[in-house]
Structure 1
């Protein structure tokens, strides 16, 4: 009964957070998945499969792409309600060893908190914070899960650039090597 009472006294999680709703929580998220240095990499989440079409298709290394990991990793499937069943990942590492794993995204975000690096006092007030991105990366034998949240800031991040009033860093949440 105490837990139920505690839950009923908490403010409901909203989809349009502002800094006044601290700590920042999310009820929906965007999702993206990327494979690097793998063979036959397939990632299935919320009914959609990311990755290659063939079990023999090779995913090139990250270094073969233009840009940094921060620039390349993105989430294109938007407004996924928290939380679909676990992500299913099947791939072969570059040495040819087969792997299959399930990653429970809900377990990585048990309190549905937005993971970011912006101090509360630096966040612009009265501006909604949108759904964060959750990005899963498979690189050879390692699976990494990141979050990226668009956090409006009080100060411009690039002086003189009026479009830089935010931060949206890619933050590593979890990783495991198999």
Structure 2
């Protein structure tokens, strides 16, 4: 009986040891990992695409200007100063606009008078310019940070500029990056430069 008891004890100790050594359920290594899991952060789906956009028109060097797109028209019925008034980076800090526009309304209708007094009218088909729904940006794929569900959280801005006899269409999107562009600036973990998509001359 004594030998039997010793054998049973040995079996129990072996079972406990095996349980202790068996692989445990996966655990997250850090708060960063837990946050990543909670937010469902995943590698960016490529190419980055958009289903809605924000729109803003701007007029420079015009005697009068009107832009109609996805809502009430934007009207500037007074002479607008040249873009040079605002310096070489006059579009760098332009934000805001008409938000939440589904892709895509009818073309933008633009009527204006250039500085020589000539009247112009143009239809700018935003949907045709961005028919592929791909976000225009300059961040390499390997530098784009993980995103919620792998998608951008904000809509890109489409900017339509009327400048005397020229119309330009740009896109600006906020792209989170894996690294800081300025090591001394903790807010430089994204890029949002304007990307020129189309130019028209009149």
Which category describes the TM-score, using the shorter chain as reference length? 0.7 to 0.9
Structure with greater proportional helix content? 2
TM-score, length of structure 1 as denominator length: 0.83
Q: Match of 1:48, SS?
A: coil
Q: CA RMSD in A?
A: 1.8
Unaligned stretches of 5+ residues in structure 2 = 1-40
Contact 1:33 1:75 in 2 (8 A): no
Which residue in 1 is equivalent to 2:8?
none
TM-score, length of structure 2 as denominator length: 0.74
Whole-Å Cα distance in 2 between the matches of residues 66 and 109 of structure 1?
29
1:29-68 deviations in whole A, cap 9, x for unaligned? 000110000011111110122231x3xx101111223672
1:147 maps onto 2:171 in alignment = yes
Structure with greater proportional strand content? 1
Contact 2:92 2:193 in 1 (8 A): no
Instruction: Pick from 134, 143, 147 the counterpart of residue 122 of structure 1.
Output: 143
1:137 maps onto 2:161 in alignment = yes
Name segments (4+ residues, structure 1) moved above 6 Å: none
Whole-Å Cα distance in 2 between the matches of residues 137 and 102 of structure 1?
13
Which residue in 1 is equivalent to 2:119?
98
Which residue in 2 is equivalent to 1:160?
184
Q: Greater CA radius of gyration, 1 or 2?
A: 2
Which residue in 2 is equivalent to 1:173?
197
1:29 maps onto 2:53 in alignment = yes
Relative to structure 1, the CA distance from residue 155 to residue 47 in structure 2 (aligned partners, 3 Å threshold; closer, same or farther) is same
Instruction: Pick from 78, 83, 87 the counterpart of residue 99 of structure 2.
Output: 78
Unaligned stretches of 5+ residues in structure 1 = 1-16
